Amino acid sequence: MKVLVTGGAGYIGSHTVLSLLENNYDVVVYDNLCNSSVESLRRVEKLTGKSVKFIQGDICSKDDLTKVFNQFNIDAVIHFAALKAVGESAEIPLSYYQNNVHGTVCLLEVMQQQKVHNFIFSSSATVYGEESDVPYVETMKLGTPSSPYGASKVMVERVLADTANANKEFRGVSLRYFNPIGAHESGAIGEDPKGIPNNLLPYVAQVAVGKRDKLSIFGDDYPTQDGSCERDYLHVMDLAQGHVAALNWLNRNDEFRGVEAFNLGTGNGISVFAIVKAFEKAINKTIPFDVSPRRAGDLPAFWANASKANKELNWQATRSLEQMMADTWHWQSNNPNGYLV
Ligand code: NAD
Ligand code: UFG
């Protein structure tokens, strides 16, 4: 089976490409490299001993996408390509709607023309918005996230529902990721953010490797056990395997038409202070930090009810917090400058 992976050179995409190859799927990556390097795919090739076809292109170009579908016999699409910085999305919202919403519409139009109906979308826990109770469960209504980034994910989920209503062949899956962290156990691929990291783990790892002086913990006065925010962190390789599980689910369920959402998380909330402690333990070194004011838009605590994915996809996050920390460090210490060698 041939899978087109948009955004496949990025953090989650490259780990998923590795899992797909290990599970004997044939992969074509389509990425404009706006937030990644093709080096990630070269390393995936080394790790798996298999080759990855790579096409540099933008999902907003229907002409380029059409060429790819004409060149390869694509059976399914896994769609990672998007802009993802929550803060930046408030500064340049139109770029986020253009890239994430319009880009997805272009891709879906070309898929429809090409009669390719299997689609897996990178959604996010952010679609539950600010009002939902925790743990989040798929039966909850889509919420109203505060950021344009979050809104773009809700919009695409709506686009998918309408597409499925109109096109009776459509077979869509929305995977709602919680907080992916860590790296492949080889330490050869991992998360390589450009500039100052927005997310917690890359920031902690850069402090540990000496690239940043100290971590700022955004708020210790939340209504949580230790006052810092709690999130559902899952290992990126568990998440990668969730995509393989979703493809297998589509393959098993020939009759399925429509669109189905699945939460991918561990089901546990971990605080920022607990993450720092776990990382310190993994590297046997202290992480300097201070506590600064709350970051706008952060919710106090959320985690997944992942029982639907457990039951229907036969998928479960199995890697421990200790492994997430050790693998983050393995990647960061081996590659202090990411893919820039
Ligand atoms: P990433 O930035 O590492 O990967 C995204 C990839 O898409 C990059 O390689 C980038 O070059 C590419 N891309 C962006 N716009 C493109 C376009 N117009 N055309 C072609 N390629 C384009 O991010 P990631 O963390 O791997 O995230 C992958 C997906 O998962 C995104 O859709 C993101 O919104 C979603 N997601 C991520 C997280 C997270 O915490 N990392 C959480 C929830 C959802
Ligand atoms: N944090 C710090 N200091 C930092 C960075 C983060 O204290 O330097 C804290 C945040 O305040 C938050 C926690 O660490 O409490 C996690 O923050 P991240 O930015 O790593 O993750 P978020 O939960 O804010 O966001 C992630 C993804 C988004 C997605 C969201 C909901 O990055 O794409 O989960 O799924 F929308």
Q: Give residue-wise pLDDT tens across range 316-340.
A: 999 999 999 999 999 999 999 999 9
Alpha-carbon distance 238 to 28, whole Å? 21
Residue with the two structure tokens 């492994």: 323
The protein residue whose alpha carbon is closest to atom 7 in ligand 2 is 217
Measure the CA angle with vertex 44, ends 38 and 48; round to 5°: 155
User: Strand, coil or helix: what is 292?
Assistant: strand
Any atom of ligand 1 within 6 Å of the Cβ of 103: yes
Span(s) in the chain for CATH 3.90.25.10:
200-229+268-309+321-334
Pocket flag, ligand 1, residue 263 (CB < 6 Å): no
Which of the residues are catalytic?
Answer: 149
Please name the residue ranges forming H helices in the chain.
11-22, 39-48, 62-71, 86-91, 93-96, 103-113, 148-166, 200-208, 236-252, 272-283, 307-312, 321-334
Nearest to 172 by CA among 110, 79, 275, 290: 79
C-alpha of residue 156 to centroid of ligand 1, in Å: 14
Residue 68 DSSP one-character state: H
From the alpha carbon of 60, which atom of ligand 1 is closest? 18
Cα separations in angstroms, 328 against 22, 36, 95, 234, 279: 21, 18, 30, 12, 9
- Pull the structure tokens for residue 142: 């889509």
Q: Are strands 230-231 and 270-271 parallel, antiparallel or unpaired?
A: antiparallel
Q: What is the pLDDT of residue 159?
A: 98
Report which DSSP code applies to 136. Answer: B
Q: Whose CA is nearest to atom 30 of ligand 2?
A: 126
- For residue 204, the CA-to-ligand 2 centroid distance in Å is 12
268 — pLDDT class (breaks 50, 70, 90): very high
Q: Is 316 left (phi over 0), alpha (psi -120 to 50) or beta?
A: beta
Q: How far apart are CA 237 and CA 18, in angstroms?
A: 9
The pLDDT confidence band at residue 195, using thresholds 50, 70 and 90, is very high
Whether residue 191 has its Cβ less than 6 Å from ligand 1: no
Decide: 230 and 270 in contact? Cβ < 8 Å.
Answer: yes
Q: How far apart are CA 313 and CA 247, in angstroms?
A: 9
CATH placement of domain 2-182+232-265: 3.40.50.720
Of the listed ligands, the closest to the CA of 41 is: 1
Residue extent(s) of CATH 3.40.50.720 domains in the chain: 2-182+232-265
Tell me how far apart the alpha carbons of residues 220 and 229 are, in angstroms, rounded to a whole number: 8
Has residue 341 got a pLDDT over 90?
no
123 — phi, psi (to 5°)? Answer: -100, -170
Q: Whose CA is nearest to atom 8 of ligand 2?
A: 200
Q: Which ligand is the nearest neighbour of the Cα of 30?
A: 1
For residue 54, which phi and psi values (nearest 5 degrees)? -125, 130
Let me know: does 243 contact 175? Beta carbons within 8 Å.
yes
Backbone φ and ψ for 234, nearest 5 degrees, come out as: -130, 150
Q: What is the DSSP letter of 29?
A: E
pLDDT digits (tens, 9 = 90+) for 50-64: 999 999 999 999 999
The band of 98, judged by pLDDT with boundaries at 50, 70 and 90, is: very high
Q: Among all ligands shown, which has an atom nearest to the Cα of 192? A: 1
Going from the Cα of 200 to the center of ligand 2, the distance in angstroms, rounded, reads 6
Task: Quickly state the pLDDT bin for 292 (edges 50, 70, 90).
Answer: very high
Pocket lining: 29 vs ligand 1, CB cutoff 6 Å: no
Each residue's pLDDT tens digit, 148-164: 999 999 999 999 999 99
Question: What does the pLDDT read at residue 24?
Answer: 98
Q: Which of 86, 199, 266 to mutate to test the pocket of ligand 2 (most atoms within 8 A of CB)?
A: 199
Closest CA to 208 of 292, 326, 323, 319: 326
Ligand 1 atom at minimal distance to the Cα of residue 179:
40
Ligand 2, CB cutoff 6 Å, lining residues = 84, 86, 124-126, 150, 179, 198-200, 203, 215-218, 229, 231, 272, 295, 298
Which tokens belong to 137? 């469960």
Residue ranges of E strands in the chain: 2-6, 26-31, 53-56, 76-79, 118-124, 171-177, 179-181, 215-218, 230-231, 233-235, 258-264, 270-271, 289-292
Q: Is the CB of 35 under 6 A from ligand 1?
A: yes
What is the rounded average pLDDT for all residues in the chain?
98
Write out pLDDT tens, residues 222-256: 999 999 999 999 999 999 999 999 999 999 999 99
The answer to whether residues 245 and 313 touch, using CB atoms and an 8 Å cutoff, is yes
Q: How confident is the model at residue 264 (pLDDT cuts 50, 70, 90)?
A: very high
- Give 249 Cα–ligand 1 centroid separation in angstroms: 23
- 16: Cβ contacts below 8 Å, ≥ 6 apart: 5, 8, 78, 80, 239, 240, 243, 244
pLDDT attached to residue 113: 98
Domain 200-229+268-309+321-334: CATH architecture, name and number where available:
Alpha-Beta Complex (3.90)
As a whole number of angstroms, the distance between CA 301 and CA 161 comes to 28
- Is residue 14 in contact with ligand 1, taking CB distance under 6 Å? no
pLDDT of 58: 99
Query: Quick one: CA dihedral 210, 213, 219, 224, positive or negative?
Result: positive
Would you say residue 38 has pLDDT above 70? Answer: yes
- Once rounded to an integer, what is the mean pLDDT over residues 160-180? 98
Contact 118, 73 (CB under 8 A): no
